[in-house]
Structure 1
């Protein structure tokens, strides 16, 4: 045994992975079950994937959720970036404590409170509930997660690069676009993916602010599961797991390639010196 790989440590590690991933593996296996009972194996069959692709309710809800998640992630990333930059670069300013509290409050606020508050706001404004209200509600809490991620990355950046650019005549806006944004790119991508996932996964807040014709995928899945889990839901869960896995693999490959390029550039610079 290598140093640090104690049998107890290995057992705890295996138990942890099994606890996290065994239900997902079971879901994937039973998505190919031929029978309607999700707890009894009746034989291998991919027919439920065909049934899923022919279900207009699920397809419509999935498309709605994807559009909302994409818009939410894009807007939340921009707003969260501005909020994080204000906290990380502007130093002490009047109202900083209040602004910091407002940026972090939705992180600890229960979804029920957030959903009820946004519902009362839209009712008070006589705003017709639908896709737009769900998107605004999702942006409200997603931008806070973005701000936390970007601010953490911003605090570790070397400000000398920004200062050097401004010493050479670059204006603050140009320095922000050409120097700061590229250095924040990995954090921005991670924040965008997190905001997209949070929106795609939300059920409670969307249930408060949704209106006629704006049913999201989690709402449809929840309504179907209340009557019993069907193999179509297993097939849907399997497709989502595969999609998320593919996105993670692609992102990891991109980051690995960027890191290898950065190391190669650093080695070339050292040799030149």
Structure 2
């Protein structure tokens, strides 16, 4: 009976992953099609990848996308870490619960509403739509993600560590830099990578707050897809997907190394 359940669960997982990855693999397969369509594969070619790398405007958009993603991830990680620490050390349950609720509402709110709200805000504030508006928007919706990733590590940390550091004469800054931040480092890395991924992936919010002369990959792919089917979109999407896979694998190995290192030290002692 258990073997039957095990087989059934594996078949279910295979079916789920097939539904998720089949369209991506289909898109990647036809990015090498010399026929110029996704109806029939006529032959292998790298023509559309050459088009991507020879398109100067597209390369600038790629650079803009990664600059926005890295800056927003870094800034939102710094703000989110200190925000999570502030929420964690609030003694009263009512304001603490209110702040957590407000933080979670921003995560589950529809992107269309967030994007429209930012558009109205920037218009009223007189901020020109472009690099600045996109960066501020990405920082804003990434901060709650970082808070959610860091808070569990703070909750795992024993208060005796901080008490011991203070008994040894550590100042507030030393407690933060030598005890708290090293302990929650896995959560900080997780928050940074999640913020980076969300920024690279975001379309709805960016679509509202981007202006003329500035664009990101998600908005550019959308605008090109509306003009008609072009396999250069397939090539570009394939490159983005492979880059995302590299990021995920890199984060996996970093996280694995951080988890194994304490055990190795204990074993050596």
The normalised TM-score by structure 2 is: 0.93
Alignment: residue pair count: 269
The 2-side partners of 1:144 and 1:29 are apart by 37
Can you list the C-alpha shifts for 1:67-120, whole angstroms capped at 9, x where unaligned?
111111011111111111111123227844443333222112211211111111
Matched-pair contact (CA < 8 Å) for 2:90–2:96:
no
Superposed counterparts of 1:156-167, under 5 Å: 156-167=156-167
The 2-side partners of 1:42 and 1:13 are apart by 33
The 2-side partners of 1:133 and 1:6 are apart by 50
Can you list the C-alpha shifts for 1:200-255, whole angstroms capped at 9, x where unaligned?
11111112111222111111100111123321111111111211222222222222
**C-alpha RMSD over aligned residues:** 2.0
**Structure 2 partner of 1:186:** 186
**Structure 1 partner of 2:214:** 214
Give 5+ residue unaligned stretches, structure 2.
Answer: none
Matched-pair contact (CA < 8 Å) for 2:76–2:195:
yes
The 2-side partners of 1:104 and 1:7 are apart by 37
Local SS of the residue matching 1:213: coil
Give 5+ residue unaligned stretches, structure 1.
Answer: none
**Structure 2 partner of 1:265:** 265
The 1-side partners of 2:146 and 2:96 are apart by 18
The 1-side partners of 2:43 and 2:69 are apart by 36
**Structure 2 partner of 1:63:** 63
Change (3 A) 1:101 1:261: closer
The 2-side partners of 1:7 and 1:200 are apart by 37
Cα distance, 1:5 vs. partner? Answer: 5.6
Local SS of the residue matching 1:6: helix
Matched-pair contact (CA < 8 Å) for 1:145–1:195:
yes
Matched-pair contact (CA < 8 Å) for 1:35–1:41:
yes
**Structure 2 partner of 1:177:** 177
**Structure 1 partner of 2:233:** 233
- The worse-fitting range, judged by mean Cα deviation, of 87-96 and 175-184 is 87-96
Local SS of the residue matching 1:39: coil
